[in-house]
């Protein structure tokens, strides 16, 4: 059982927004009434059951069910509005979504057989997934442009898979480990929609794929392991449920070939852990989304634009320099490159042009660093006390693939976040124990854009951004019992 209490604090006027606030009380009241309101309810349940057939064989079942209901009224004009209720009208804004409703439920079932033997470990399984989504929304623009009709769609997706993986350690060399894996997947995608023009359509498509991977690992010493790995991955194709019927067409699956070499080690009598990895991921039929204008308003279109290569380095260090003191450091670097990015727009008469030299990878930062320091005090008679501070740096990123005149309103610059937590654990109560954790997130009250859209150009321009959560404090109370 767990009880969590969270407090958010934001100084008045601290949050920036693209708003023009009117001074008179009538307009201010109208803005408050028309501000974005969101209600999101998520429920999830899972059940794991395992049967140990014998010392070497286990059968496991994993069942999960999840539901989501989302209701929104979002003002996309930055808060500007006109109150016409005294004249028999309503509150008119430049651009808003009215009555967005989304309901989603999903079910998954996985069956696994796991075997552990002297020289061979293997797992085999079957997986099933299905989801159902219903959504409806309306868009309103300024009176001079009229109002768009509402749109709605229903999505039905399912997936079936069979997989297996085995690791073999030859009897003649216990330090060598050979791993092979294989997965076959069948995905089905279906959407029924009515767009903002009133057109309707039903679309469906099936996708099949077989992917796998191989790993060679060698234990130089019991505390030092090196490995080399190759794998081929797959992302299913599908449809753009929010795209107009006229532009509705399936996008193809995306594929990636991943290469990785690395090492894992525990040194200095296990007081120092040092892990390192270098990788190269080569994508083909790359799937990317664009927010573009159309005859139906604003549309998100997913297309297979070409090829890309992402390479990088990951470092992980954890040290215990003093008894009770733990320091962990993580560093990541990415080198991002489009090998081909075919983009069609009105500017080039919708003839695809390779823009790989000037395109960006959305929400991908080149560098990220995190540092954590934790101290575990000597246990008391009534519990164990620990304190932790985390500092995380991100070099920033853009949310769209191409430069626009609105980037200054949507992109995320570099930011550093500081979090802290103090925990009192192992407090014996009855047949179990209590744990109290007082925490603070974003202690320096930094702000950055977690999502942004910059689209269109003159004469109609639009930019929208979502900011991160402000500084917050909370108390978690957890009770664990046998």
pLDDT at 241 over 90: no
20 — pLDDT class (breaks 50, 70, 90): very low
State whether 311 and 225 are in the same domain: yes
Average pLDDT over residues 312-329: 97
For residue 307, the cross-strand partners are: 340
| Alpha carbon distances (Å) from 295 to 24, 94, 97, 195, 269 | 37, 18, 17, 11, 67
Count Cβ atoms within 10 A of the Cβ of residue 326 and give its class: 0-12 exposed, 13-18 middle, 19 or more buried.
Answer: middle
State whether 20 and 30 are in the same domain: no
State whether 306 and 378 are in the same domain: no
Rounded CA separation 13/19 (Å):
12
State the first-to-last Cα distance of the chain, in angstroms, to the nearest integer.
12
Q: Which residue has the higher pLDDT, 144 or 90?
A: 90
State whether 330 and 391 are in the same domain: no
Separation of CA 146 from chain center: 36
State whether 321 and 453 are in the same domain: no
197 — pLDDT class (breaks 50, 70, 90): confident
pLDDT at 149 over 90: no
State whether 212 and 165 are in the same domain: yes
The predicted-structure confidence for 217-228, as pLDDT tens digits, reads as follows 999 999 999 999
pLDDT at 207 over 50: yes
CA geometry: angle 180, 186, 192, nearest 5 deg: 150
State whether 293 and 385 are in the same domain: no
* Residue after which a domain boundary falls, among 348, 365, 382: 365
6 — pLDDT class (breaks 50, 70, 90): very low
Tokens of 361: 């990878």
Q: Which residue has the higher pLDDT, 451 or 374?
A: 374
Q: What 3-state class would DSSP assign to 36? A: coil
| Alpha carbon distances (Å) from 445 to 239, 323, 439, 467 | 39, 32, 14, 12
State whether 413 and 321 are in the same domain: no
Q: Which residues contact 340 (CB under 8 A, 6 or more apart)?
A: 305, 306, 307, 354, 356
The predicted-structure confidence for 250-300, as pLDDT tens digits, reads as follows 899 999 999 999 999 999 999 999 999 999 999 999 998 876 655 555 577
In sequence order, what DSSP letters do the residues of 77-143 get, joined into one string? STT-EEE-GGGT--EEESEEEEEEEEEEEEEEEEEEEEEE-SSEEEEEEEEEEEEEEEEEEEEEE-G
State whether 402 and 329 are in the same domain: no
**pLDDT value of residue 22:** 31
Domain that holds residue 467: 1-24+366-482
The predicted-structure confidence for 375-425, as pLDDT tens digits, reads as follows 999 988 889 999 999 999 999 998 888 887 888 888 899 999 999 999 999
Separation of CA 431 from chain center: 39
For residue 463, the cross-strand partners are: 454
State whether 272 and 359 are in the same domain: yes
Q: What percent of the chain has pLDDT over 70?
A: 79
State whether 372 and 360 are in the same domain: no
Count: domains in the chain: 2
Find the CATH number of the domain harbouring 299.
2.40.170.20
Is 414 within 8 Å of 453 (Cβ atoms)? no
Is 378 within 8 Å of 324 (Cβ atoms)? yes
pLDDT at 454 over 80: no
**pLDDT value of residue 31:** 41
Rounded CA separation 69/71 (Å):
7
* Residue after which a domain boundary falls, among 336, 365, 394: 365
State whether 249 and 372 are in the same domain: no
* Residue after which a domain boundary falls, among 365, 388, 404: 365
Q: Out of 136-140, 187-191, 285-289, 339-343, pick the least confident.
A: 136-140
Average pLDDT over residues 67-78: 76
pLDDT at 97 over 80: no
**pLDDT value of residue 150:** 75
């Amino acid at each position: 059982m767990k009880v969590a209490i969270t407090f958010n604090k934001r100084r008045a006027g601290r949050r920036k927004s693209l708003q023009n606030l009117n001074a008179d009380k009538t307009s201010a009241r109208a803005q408050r009434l028309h501000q974005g309101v969101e209600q999101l309810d998520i429920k999830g349940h899972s059940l794991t059951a395992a049967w140990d057939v014998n010392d070497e064989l286990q059968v496991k079942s994993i069942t999960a069910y999840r539901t989501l209901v989302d209701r929104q009224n979002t003002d996309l004009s930055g808060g500007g509005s006109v109150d016409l209720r005294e004249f028999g009208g309503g509150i008119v804004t430049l651009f808003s979504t009215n009555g967005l409703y989304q309901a989603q439920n999903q079910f998954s079932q996985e069956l696994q057989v796991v075997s552990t033997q002297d020289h061979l470990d293997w797992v085999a399984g079957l997986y099933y997934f299905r989801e159902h989504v219903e959504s409806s929304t309306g868009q309103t623009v300024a009176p001079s442009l009229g109002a768009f009709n509402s749109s709605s769609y229903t999505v039905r997706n399912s997936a079936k898979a069979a997989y297996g993986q085995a690791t073999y350690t030859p009897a003649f060399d216990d330090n060598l480990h050979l791993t092979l894996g294989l997965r076959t997947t069948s995905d089905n995608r279906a959407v029924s929609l009515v767009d903002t023009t009133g057109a309707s359509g039903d679309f469906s498509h099936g996708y099949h794929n077989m992917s796998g991977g191989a790993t060679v690992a060698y234990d130089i010493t019991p505390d030092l392991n090196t490995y080399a790995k190759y794998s081929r991955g797959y992302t299913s194709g599908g449809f753009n449920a929010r795209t107009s019927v006229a532009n509705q067409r399936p996008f193809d699956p995306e594929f990636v070939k991943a290469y990785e070499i690395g090492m894992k080690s525990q040194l200095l009598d296990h007081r120092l852990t040092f892990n390192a990895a270098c990788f190269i991921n080569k994508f083909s039929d790359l799937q990317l989304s664009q927010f573009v204008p159309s005859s139906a308003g604003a549309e998100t279109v997913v297309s297979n634009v070409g090829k890309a290569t992402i390479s990088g380095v990951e470092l992980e260090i954890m040290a215990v320099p003093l008894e009770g003191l733990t320091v962990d450091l993580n560093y990541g670097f990415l080198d991002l490159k489009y090998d081909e990015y075919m983009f069609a727009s009105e500017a080039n008469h919708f003839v695809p042009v390779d823009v790989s030299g000037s395109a960006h990878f959305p929400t991908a930062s080149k560098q990220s660093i995190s540092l954590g320091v934790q101290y575990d005090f000597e246990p008391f008679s009534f519990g164990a006390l620990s304190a932790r501070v985390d500092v995380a740096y991100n070099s920033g990123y853009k949310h769209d693939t191409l430069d626009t005149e609105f980037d200054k309103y949507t992109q995320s610059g570099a930011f550093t976040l500081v979090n802290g937590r103090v925990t009192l654990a192992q407090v014996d109560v009855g047949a179990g124990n209590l744990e109290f954790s007082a925490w603070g997130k974003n202690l320096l009250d930094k702000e950055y854009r977690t999502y942004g859209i910059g689209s269109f150009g003159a004469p109609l321009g639009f930019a929208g951004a979502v900011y991160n959560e402000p500084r917050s404090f909370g108390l978690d109370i957890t009770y664990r019992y046998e």
